[in-house]
Structure 1
Amino acid sequence: MSLLECLVWVVLTFALFWLPVDKKTSFLSFAFSCVGFVYFGVIDIYGVGVLVCFGVLMLLYARFRFFLIEVLLVVGCAGLFFHYLMGFHNPKVLSNVLLSPQSATYTLYFNFDKAFIPFVLIVLLPTLFATKDSYTREISLPQGLFLVCSLFSLLLIATLLGILEFEFHIPSWIFVFVWANLFFVSFVEEALFRGYFQQRLSGWVGEYPALILASLIFASYHLKLSYLLAIFAFFAGLLYGLAWLWSGRVWISTLFHFGLNLTHLIFFTYPYYKP
């Protein structure tokens, strides 16, 4: 990846980071990044068509607030999340790297299609990143300690089950991992599963049933890897959901999500144990 293409990804990263603060500046930065991605081939002519369709639906929803349009946009977000929509060519920045002899090989992409999801969801739900009462919510010290200890306990349980093994390593590509995992994985997934699904479901079925349902949806995404990892993801999702529920802010649950992933990378076999 050239320096100029890296700068385009920096612009997209800024747009994601600034989206909870100033939507106009963020959307403008996103538009500039799209021009760069078209130039570098990350978005082709079909991808431009997909973005235009999303843009039309987003404008219609902002004007009319029809539930059917929201359903179409959420289905579209699912297509983006699973990379089902054509026209996007996410660059591979790490290819089959082996962190240790006991780890499975690992491949990392910078995913433009997934990074687009929060820009869609913020139109559907203005409180996506911070609930209306988030200024009255605050994670207490006991709650914070509970979340940290529980997340680390999950990694220990995964080790006992043979999914992971203890191994300390700081790979040379850790900066790339931090960049991609924080913004294009943890932040995007928290915006989708906690900011949107859990918040929407809370208004329909109540806070704690919504917590369980959002965690089940999150776990189902990991079924393609294994049932054990899906169960692990369910309990991790419960903890991320509690972080969101207690704070009312997606960035808080994002930091817990990213913290677990980074701890996993540094102290355990990554992405999983493969003797």
Structure 2
Amino acid sequence: MSFVLSSLPQTWPWLILMAALAAGWSGQRGLAFALLAVFGGVALALGHLEPIALMALATGLLFAAFIPRTRGPARLIGHAVLVLWSLTLGAHLLPGVRNLLILDQVQAGPASAPYSLHLNLDKPLVFFALLLAWPALLQRNDPAGRRALISGLLILAALLPLALLTGALELEPSLPDWLLLWMASNLLLTCLAEEAFFRGYLQQGLSRRFGPAAGIAAASLLFGLAHIGAGPAVAAFAALLGLACGLGYWGAGRFYVPVLMHFAFNLTHLLLFTYPGPA
């Protein structure tokens, strides 16, 4: 808690963004976009966003809001542009965005590799774009049933022991002083945005067109490829995590299920194992 309080002079604008994300996740769209507008103004005033970046983000959101009104080839093009825009934000490639470096080469424990954390303002915008472009994002789907959900949970439970057995991780229980800030950032700025894109949007959309097996497989593989920059082993584990979350989403029919599964995996990794890996 002391770290959270001491970092407030730097991090307080992100509390507005996190509140906007929480409001959007709970279905309060009006409040979510009002808070997002406030955050955009604050980020611009404090130099976290340059005017050109703010214009690009606002244009992207307006474009996303227009997609549900299109039909035929125009809708297909719209979704293709939305995917490219989302990947650009997720990869932090948009010029004029200054994500806040809040942890710089810290260690969760003595055996853990140095770790840095940015409070992102680009990746979370993907969630807001999908709220506008994909009305089904937060809707309840018909659940496939307990078998699919349990299968996803079993895969999720097996991932960290598998990483331990293969030497990708080591046991190292820890309770870093920056845990609370990490939890808020990981849940709202990372897991919510990533699950919205890969499960709520890609998996759901592909499942409607090609069936649930194809949708889950494709979204899981793409989720793995999105982590290829950290190495093939991390990409493989990410694909398995995507499979677990995808089965959980399909089995429960609720968007919050893969978000919480993803977050639970990340939190368990931090608390019990070398994070992000052994030194």
Q: Distance in 2 between matches of 1:123 and 1:195?
A: 13
Residue 90 in 1 paired to residue 124 in 2? no
How far 1:40 sits from its partner (Å)? 1.4
Residue 26 in 1 paired to residue 32 in 2? yes
Deviates more, 1:122-131 or 1:153-162: 122-131
1:5–1:36: 8 Å Cα contact kept in structure 2? no
2:226–2:235: 8 Å Cα contact kept in structure 1? yes
Q: Distance in 2 between matches of 1:102 and 1:4?
A: 31
Q: Deviations over 1:136-187 (max 9, x none)?
A: 53864x7665544432321011111111001111111100110110001111
Structure 1 residues 117-266: aligned runs within 5 Å? 117-131=126-140, 134=141, 137=143, 140=146, 146-266=151-271
Matching residue's letter, 1:86 = P
Q: Distance in 1 between matches of 2:272 and 2:62?
A: 46
Consecutive aligned runs of 4 or more in structure 1 exceeding 6 Å deviation? none
- Aligned-residue CA RMSD (Å): 1.9
Q: Deviations over 1:95-120 (max 9, x none)?
A: 00022232111000111000100111
How far 1:235 sits from its partner (Å)? 1.0
Matching residue's letter, 1:155 = L
Deviates more, 1:80-89 or 1:57-66: 57-66
Residue 57 in 1 paired to residue 66 in 2? no
How far 1:53 sits from its partner (Å)? 2.3
Residue 115 in 1 paired to residue 124 in 2? yes
Q: TM-score, normalised by structure 2?
A: 0.90
Q: TM-score, normalised by structure 1?
A: 0.91
Matching residue's letter, 1:28 = A
Q: Distance in 2 between matches of 1:98 and 1:5?
A: 21
Gaps of 5+ in 1: none
* Residues paired across the two proteins, number: 270
| Identical pairs, percent | 31
Q: Distance in 1 between matches of 2:66 and 2:199?
A: 25
1:5–1:40: 8 Å Cα contact kept in structure 2? no
